[in-house]
Structure 1
Amino acid sequence: MTDVIKLLSKNVSNQIASGDVIQNPASILKEILENSIDADAKNIKIILTNGGKNRIHIIDDGIGMSKNDAIQSFERYSTSKLTKIEDLFKISTKGFRGEALSYISSVTQIELETREKTSDLGIRLIIENGELKYKPFPIAMNKGCSICIKNIFYNIPAKRKNLKSSNLELKNIINEFYKIVLSHKEINFYLENNKKLLFNLNKSSYKERIIQIYGEKLKNKLIKIKKTTKLVKIKGYITHPHYSNSKKLGQYLFLNKRYITNKNIHNAIIASYEGILNKKENPSYFIFLSMDYNKFNINLNPSKTKVNFFYDSEIELCNNISSTIKESLGINNIYNYYYNNKYFFPLTEKSDLKVFNKKYKQIKNLFKNQSFYKNETKIHLYKWIQIYNSYLLGVIKSGLLLVDQNRAHQRILYDFFYKKKSKNLKIDKKSFLKKILSKLNYLGFKIFVLKKKILVQSFSLGIKKTNISKILEKIFENEKMKKNILYKYICKYFSLKKGKKISNLEIKGLIKKLFVSNNPYYSPFGEKILLNVSKEKIKKLFIK
């Protein structure tokens, strides 16, 4: 019997092995970009043709390579980053040139130009099928490296056919590009495709880099997180709950500046929003972790995106991340946080008499488009329900919180009109009425002061016509009435009454506005608004 087992050539074995590392143009981009970053490049330019299918040209200003190193870098298992197996677990750089370039050169056509700082001239190498096509020759060039990779899988037709359209391959490249540039804010990146500029990113802060990629729309929706423990340093940004989406967009986790995926950490991040978002909503996050290399192993797969954490460090890490996010969201304590007006949950809206007479119409947009509430609170983010159409029940960290909706609304209205000014000033009836007209208009009225009479053209939902008359009569019957007394009458007659059903959005709006008050505990009439039942008290109720 003749021998049938043969040793594969170096090029064929590289082509087979490349399948683990090189799947598409995006995976090539990743490997070459990581080499540029390892070479301490401060400026990296990427030029693509047809989404990288025909050309990926990367130019950097890194340390460059000598002639011998440049040639050696295309040999498999060649690297400057380790000499023994123990070094594999201490590597702080992205990867090995010999890992990437030997595989890439076996399935593409490569032109490499490089010059190190100490050399007057650089060299050019042309590689096909993993072999030097010509002898290296000197060229004049700047310090750094220029590598042009053409025609991916040109020598493996079956794989070439499996490539997606140019647009889809470009999309894959941009996704990989994001994973690199987000964690390397200190580097300037330039990306173009078919001579069209896609990104020109200047070095920046983490927040600025996120905005450079996702646009100004994200600027006021990012919440900073930062914490240092014995195990890990955590920093980055999460998005405000109101910016959640149904798709898992913008979810990035980095470990020592390397993009990673970890299901347990992801679940811990999502769980931190529990009670704020529903199951179909997803927050965006950009979280950067720094840990000692002896706490994890990142060499589980060629792409180095999966991580194995040693001992119980993964559990501790998840707890650290979760607590950091909760603190930043304000779940562990109530604190003021700025919201743009478009995030206000309105309670009533302006209406004419026809709408007013529809008894079952809900109250909406009470304070629509008002800017005087500059600070809002996070307590509205807890779970709230209405009970008996009169009270609001919230499940908060310390236990249960009951809110009297009528008294709460009185407090909101009183603060709205009063605003802590001119507390004891006596009023002139007509001039004062003119002053409050603009505020009454916020409540949905159209009131005109004529020479001999007052014309009320429209009413706000839920307000009885007789109540308007009573308020106006109070203004005119006593010229010496103090403003604070008049305001009490206003909020008494105009406030949301017990027995009135309101929607979930209206509940959130009411709670949100109540807790920006300087006194959310008592109504203008000194009546208690809140009742707190602590966890401890609840537990005692069930003791045998």
Structure 2
Amino acid sequence: MTDIIRLLPDAIANQIAAGEVVQRPASIVKELMENSVDAGSTRVQVLIREAGKVLVQVIDNGKGMSETDARMSFERHATSKIRTAEDLFAIRTMGFRGEALASIAAVAQVEMKTRQHGSELGVRICIEGSEVKEQEPVVAPEGTSIAVKNLFYNVPARRNFLKSNPVEMRHIVEEFQRVALAHPEVAFSLHQNDLETYQLAAGKLSNRIVQLFTKNHQEQMAACREETPHLKLWGYIGKPEFSKKTRGEQYFFVNQRYIKSNYLHHAMMSAYEGLLQADTYPFYVLFLEIDPQEIDINVHPTKTEIKFADERTVYAIVQSAVRQAIGAHNLTPSLDFDQDVNFTSRLAATVNIPDTAAHSRPDRSWEQFRQSSTQQQNLTNWEQLFEANRGGGGGAGATPGGRPPQTIIQPSRAFTQSVMVESAANQLKTTESAEGYDSGVDAQQSVFQLHGRYIICQVKSGMMFIDQEAAHQRILYEKFLKQLQHGSAASQQSLFPQQLQLNRQDMELFQEYEEEIRSLGFELSHFGGDSLVIQGVPADLAGVDSQRLLEGLLEQLKHHRTDLSLGKREQTARALALRAALRWGQRLELAEMRSLIDQLFACQTPAYTPDGRQTFRLLELDKVAELFKQ
């Protein structure tokens, strides 16, 4: 019997290793930038063409390499950072496994130019598919330049799996941001297709955060620092009111290496417990410095996951340090002791808002659905408002017996401008689609609102409970989707256009979905860099804060873009529907409730929200009867 086990050729072995190390162009950016940092560079330039598919070039002013080292750097498992097994437990550099350049050269065309400090000439090496094509002396600046061209040119199947340019560029920006955050003492720049994306000067961490994201981060950052015999922690955390619906601005660095750790993230979230809205995430950039012998970084090919020898202690220190920072910077809500709480409570009852609003800042985004002249009069004639609360009913606007007047709310535009579809749900007779709900005038007393969250109406078989937020999401989703399909969305011009400054990731996301966003009725223009000017919003959403609306839309798109079952139109329609829908706590008038019910049952899929939650439930009469059985 012949032998069947053979050693793999180096080229094939390198391609197999490349499958772990080089997943996309962003992987190359990460590896080359980390090599530049390890080389002691003070300035690193990153040049990108066609989202890295055509070119990824990293130029630094580090110490460079000799001719022998330059050639050896492309061999597998060739490294300058490990000599003995013990060195694995004392690693403080980024790269160390010696696979990066060999793996990259196996699936791309690579050109390296490098010159050591003090040398007259450098060396130029060209490699294609692990095969050295050229090696010659060359005049070059001190440092190293590595250009990676035509990624996966010899592995077409891998190239076909790459995403669109905006998606791949977003991954590149993410890796660039991570390395730039880890090393604020190094100047970095990023150019895409000869256009400058970032120009980051060396400086403090706080300056680097503002340079990478937006100036708004100046308002939300609070310093966090803790030092123990076990580890040292420092960095910045965000104020609770600036938390976002999606992850993306949460960074942990251990010994200046970016890591992903659900365990440490849980420590962060537990420190913020009671301060965040549901399903929101705070901003944080935290650095942990710990003895390398207490961690194992060689557990994942990309080195983004590590193991701690004593996870519980690290968890407790992170949680304690963040809680201390929150308290030190007074980020928790506090009571105003100069204010008459009872007086404020009476005021809250008069204007028909919850008592808790006297001490908190509730989400007022639902005001876009109200156009109440009575409320404006109450704000203008505030003396009459307080007179109404005095005993005896002598104040203007008071009802007999001293009771406060009832605030009359006009039906909102979102409901009165109904989407009229040929459906039995729009008729005045009893319908099957609404399970026996009668939308006629005689049904006025059979519809009411429960705790500002649910609409309850009488149906033939019993009672129907409608989640008003979920129902409105379904209505808006189908309306927006129809507008995207037919291009029929109307836009409301803004009297005073608003300028919106985005971070680079959000701008890449906007460019990816720009066509769909404009089709919904947004009128936008670029204002240089990563700034947009909002000149108009969808007509149905006129009167809202356009800046918050667009920011919220982008946040929702971040949250849902990983859903591969949805196309871009569906993702955009869902994101805007979730952002613009009614919120729990909004009081609705009878006309608004009836209009919402009519529009819900005119939908193609009235029973479920775009993300699969039920919009209504039925409670049948026999179930009600069972509640009273002995």
* Alignment TM-score, normalising by the size of structure 2: 0.55
Identity %: 35
Aligned-partner Cα distance in 2 for 1:12–1:159: 14
Spell out the pairing of 1:286-365 with structure 2 (5 A cutoff): 286-310=285-309, 313-330=310-327, 361-362=352-353
**Secondary structure of residue in 1 paired with 2:216:** helix
Q: 1:320-356: CA deviations, max 9, x gaps? A: 11011111111xx8958899xxxx9x9999xxxxxx9
Counterpart position of 2:88: 88
Separation in structure 1 between the aligned mates of residue 46 and residue 97 of structure 2, nearest angstrom = 18
Retained in 1: the 8 A contact 2:388–2:395?
no
The alpha-carbon distance between structure 1 residues 182 and 348, as it changes in their structure 2 partners (threshold 3 A), is farther
Whether 2:267 is the aligned partner of 1:241: answer no
Q: Which runs of 4+ in 1 moved over 6 A?
A: 336-339, 346-349, 363-367, 465-470
**1:64 partner SS:** coil
Q: Deviations over 1:4-35 (max 9, x none)?
A: 44322111111112111111111111111110
Matches for 1:358-437 after TM superposition, within 5 Å: 361-362=352-353
The 2-side partners of 1:47 and 1:256 are apart by 27
In 1, the alpha carbon distance for the partners of 2:273 and 2:333 equals 21
Per-residue deviation at 1:48? 0.4
1:447-496 alpha-carbon deviations (Å, 9 max, x no partner): 9xxxxxxxx7x5458544989989xxxxxxxxxxxxxxxxxxxxxxxxxx
Q: Deviations over 1:482-529 (max 9, x none)?
A: xxxxxxxxxxxxxxxxxxxx99xxxxxxxxxxxxxxxxxxxxxxxxxx
2:230 match: secondary structure: coil
What is the TM-score of this pair, normalised by structure 1?
0.64
**2: CA distance, partners of 1:200 / 1:308:** 34
Tell me if the contact between 2:46 and 2:191 (Cα under 8 Å) persists in the aligned partners: yes
Give the secondary structure class of the aligned counterpart of 2:44.
strand
Letter in 2 for 1:307: I
Rounded Cα–Cα distance in structure 2 between residues aligned with 1:347 and 1:100: 67
Matched, 1:203 2:194: no
Aligned equivalent of 1:169: 168
**Cα distance in structure 1, aligned partners of 2:139 and 2:342:** 70
**Structure 1's 468 and 92: CA in aligned 2 closer, same or farther, altered over 3 A?**
farther
Cα gap change, 1:24 to 1:304, in 2 (>3 Å): same
Q: Rate the CA distance shift 1:224–1:9 in 2: closer, same or farther, 3 A.
A: same
Q: What is the aligned partner in structure 2 of residue 53 from structure 1? A: 53
In structure 2, relative to structure 1, the CA distance for the partners of 1:347 and 1:206 (3 Å cut) is farther
Deviations 1:217-264 (A, max 9, x none): 111111111110111111111110101121112010000100011221
Task: Please give the secondary structure, in 1, of the residue aligned with 2:144.
Answer: strand
Residues 200-228 of structure 1: CA deviation (Å, up to 9, x unaligned): 11112111111111101111111111110
In structure 1, the partner of 2:527 is: none
Say if 2:101 is the partner of 1:101.
yes
- The aligned amino acid for 2:47 is I
Q: Secondary structure at the match of 2:325?
A: helix
Match of 2:470 in 1: none
2:24·2:162 contact (CA, 8 Å) conserved in 1? yes
CA separation of 1:75/1:336 partners in 2, compared to 1, >3 Å: closer, same or farther?
closer
Residue of structure 1 equivalent to 2:79: 79
Tell which structure's C-alpha radius of gyration is larger: 1
Query: Structure 1: which 5+ residue stretches go unaligned?
Result: 350-355, 368-378, 382-442, 448-455, 471-501, 504-544
Asked if the contact 1:363/1:462 (under 8 Å) is kept, the reply is: no
How much has 1:304 moved relative to structure 2?
A: 1.1
Q: Aligned pair 1:44/2:44, yes or no?
A: yes
3-state SS, counterpart of residue 98 of structure 1? coil
Tell me the amino acid that sits aligned with residue 253 of structure 1: F
Quick one: structure 1 residues 207 and 235, their matched pair in 2 at CA, closer, same or farther if it must change by over 3 Å? same
Distance verdict in 2 for CA 1:467–1:192, change over 3 Å: farther
- Residue type at the aligned position of 1:81: K
**Partners of 1:273 and 1:31 in 2: CA distance:** 34
Counterpart residue number, 1:525: none
Partners of 1:347 and 1:182 in 2: CA distance: 49
DSSP 3-state at the match of 2:182 = coil
Please state how far the C-alpha of 1:362 moved relative to its aligned partner. 3.1
For the residue of structure 1 that corresponds to 2:79, the secondary structure is coil
* 8 Å Cα contact 1:211/1:219 also seen in 2: yes
Q: CA deviation at 1:96?
A: 3.2
1:212-223 matches, cutoff 5 A: 212-223=211-222
5 Å-filtered alignment, 1:141-156, equals: 141-156=140-155
Which residue in 2 is equivalent to 1:179? 178
